[in-house]
Structure 1
Amino acid sequence: MDSPNEGGAPPQISGERDLEKGFRAEHFWPSPSPSPRAPALVVSNSSKALIVSNSGKRFDQSGKKKYVRQVTGRYNDTELHLAAQKGDVAAVTEILGEIDEQMLKTLRVAEFDAGVAEIREAVVNEVNELGETALYIAAEKGFIDVMKELLPYSTREGIRMKNRSGFDPLHIAASRGHHDIVQLLLDHDPELTRQGHADIVKALLEMDRHLARKTDKKGQTALHMAVKGVSSAVVRLLLQADPAIVMLPDKFGNIALHIATRKKRAEIVIELLRLRDTNVNALTRDQKTTI
C-alpha cells in the first residue's frame, strides 16, 4: 500500500489515536474480501515508520514499537491466522514472502536481513484474542505442512505459549490425536518434554515405546530432558517404557542422575535411585560423579 501523500508524511486521519490504542480499525484498512486476497503486509514508505498491518507492529526509526491492531477475523485474527485455519500452505508462504518483497523496497541491503527477521518473527508469533498463534491453530487442525512453514520463524516463547484455555501447541496436537505434529514439535524443541505433559508422553509411548531411546544432537534422551523439569510422573512413564535408558549418557557422559542432582530435583533423584540399573558411581567425560 503506497503512502496517501507520496514523497511526504501521510496526512493525519481522524481517529488515528484510537487506532493506536487498539480500537477496531476497519474504517482505515477494511477487512480483506475472500477473493482476491488482500496483501497481508503493508509497509509504509514514510520516513517516519514501517507499518506491518497484519502483525499489528509499527517499527519506527527510533527503535520503538507501537501497537496497531488490524482486525481481519472473528477473534482479531491476522491474515496468517486465517491461512493457518484453512491449512492454506500457499497463502502462508505468500504472506511470509511478502515481507521480503516489501522490505526490499524500504531498507538498504545492510538493514535487510535484520529487518526481515524482526518483522517475520512479529508476524508469525502474533496472537489473536484467544491467545492463539497461527502455529497453535495449525497444530489444532493437524495441518503439518503449515506447521513446517511456521516453525522456522516461531520463537521459543511462541511455541510454548498457552492460549486462554491453558493449552499450548504440543498439548492441543496431542489431545486431537495429531501424533505427527507432536513428533514434529518435539524434534524442533526436545526440551518441551520437560514441561510435564504426562498425558502427551503416555500417548507417544503407546504409539512407539522406542521413542524413549531417541536422542537429539546433544545425545540427550527424553529422560535427560524430563529430569530437568519437575514432573516425577513423566520420569516414571519413561522409565517404565525402558528402564535401561537410566544409564544412557549424552555426548558429555551425563546420565539422567547427573542432571537431576545438578538441578536439585530431589523427588526425581529418588525415582532414578529406585532402579537397580542406576549406577551412582557413573562418571561424566570430565570425571564428575552423580552426587
Structure 2
Amino acid sequence: METPTPRTPRKKMTKQLTGKRDDTPLHSAARAGNLVEIKDILTKTDGDELKALLSKQNQSGETALYVAAEYGYVDMVEEMIKFYDIVSAGIKARNGYDAFHIAAKQDDLEVVKVLMNALLELSMTVDLSNTTALHTAATQGHIEVVNLLLEADSSLARIAKSNGKTALHSAARNGHVEVVNAVLSKEPGIATRIDKKGQTALHMAAKGQRIELVEALINSDPSLVNMIDNKGNTALHIATRKGRAQV
C-alpha cells in the first residue's frame, strides 16, 4: 500500500476513533494514509457524485481534504486538491478551520505550500472570529508559514479579527519577536493599528517580558509610546501595572 509520510505527528488511534462518525470511504482512506485508495476513489467517481463526495462533511464537519491536511499527508493533499475548487476546499470543520487553516495552525509548511500553489485564494479564508491562517500562524510563532504567507500577500497582515486585533497584536502578545519583525518589514504602517480596546501591538508587548520586542515596535514608529487605549493607558502604564520594570 502506498502510504505517504505525514509531516506532522499522527494522532493516536484512540483520538482517531473518538467522535469520528459519518466518515465516507474517502475520509477513511485519508485518515488511514492510503493514497492508492484515494486515487482509486477519485478516478472512479465523477460528475455530481464526485462533487458531493469531496464536499461531504463528517460529524466533526471535516471534509476528506481537511483530514488529509490535518494528518500532514503532503502527497495525498497534492493529489486530492486537484479535484477541489475554492468553495469545496474552503469548507470549514466545526472548529472553524478549513484544510488550509489547520495546516497553518500545525506549522505544516509543506501542506500549506501545496494548497497555496493549487488555490492561492485559500490564504484569504477566515474562521468564525475572522481569523486568517496568517493570524493563527503568527499567534503560535510559526515563522516559516508566516513568511510564506506574507510573501504571497502582505495585505493579509491588515485583516483584523472580530475583536480588532491583527496578527501583529497577537504575535506581540505572545512574545514572538521574529514574527513581529517579519510583519513590520512587510507592513510597517500596521504598527499603529488599534483593536476594539484602543490598544496597539505595543500595548500587547508591554504585557510581556520581551524587551527586544518592545524596542522593535518603538523603532518602527516612535509615536506608539504616546498612544493611549480606551481607558487612557499608554503602553508604559500597562507595563508598570504588570510590574514589567525592564520595559
TM range (shorter): 0.5 to 0.7
Task: Give the superposition deviation at 1:275.
Answer: 2.7
Match of 2:124 in 1: 183
Match of 1:255 in 2: 200
- Conservation of the 8 A alpha-carbon contact between 1:126 and 1:133: no
Match of 2:3 in 1: none
- Conservation of the 8 A alpha-carbon contact between 1:75 and 1:130: no
Q: Deviations over 1:136-190 (max 9, x none)?
A: 9379837423222x3154555974358999547545434x474322222586544
Q: Structure 1 residue 218 and structure 2 residue 158: aligned?
A: no
CA 1:236–1:128 in 2, change beyond 3 Å: closer, same or farther?
closer
Match of 1:131 among 71, 85, 88: 71
Match of 2:87 in 1: 145
State the structure with more CA Rg. Answer: 1
**RMSD after superposition:** 4.9
Q: What CA distance in whole angstroms lies between the structure 2 residues aligned with 1:272 and 1:122?
A: 39
Q: What CA distance in whole angstroms lies between the structure 1 residues aligned with 2:46 and 2:180?
A: 35
TM-score (norm 1): 0.51
Match of 1:273 in 2: 218
CA 1:171–1:262 in 2, change beyond 3 Å: closer, same or farther?
farther
Task: Give the superposition deviation at 1:230.
Answer: 4.2
- Identity over aligned pairs, percent: 19
Give the number of equivalent residue pairs: 207
Q: Deviations over 1:55-89 (max 9, x none)?
A: 89xxxxxxxxxxxx95689724798xx66xx9988
Task: Give the superposition deviation at 1:133.
Answer: 7.8
Q: Which is richer in helix?
A: 2
Q: How does 1:209-248 map to 2 (within 5 A)?
A: 209-248=154-193
Task: Give the superposition deviation at 1:257.
Answer: 0.8
- Conservation of the 8 A alpha-carbon contact between 1:254 and 1:284: yes
Secondary structure of the residue aligned to 2:61 is helix
Relative contact order: is structure 1 or structure 2 higher (C-alpha 8 Å, sep ≥ 6)? 2
Task: Give the superposition deviation at 1:197.
Answer: 3.8
Match of 2:61 in 1: 121
Letter in 2 for 1:147: A
Unmatched 5+ residue regions in structure 2? 1-12, 14-19, 240-247
TM-score (norm 2): 0.58
CA 1:271–1:90 in 2, change beyond 3 Å: closer, same or farther?
farther
Q: What CA distance in whole angstroms lies between the structure 2 residues aligned with 1:216 and 1:156?
A: 14
Unmatched 5+ residue regions in structure 1? 1-21, 23-49, 57-68, 100-117
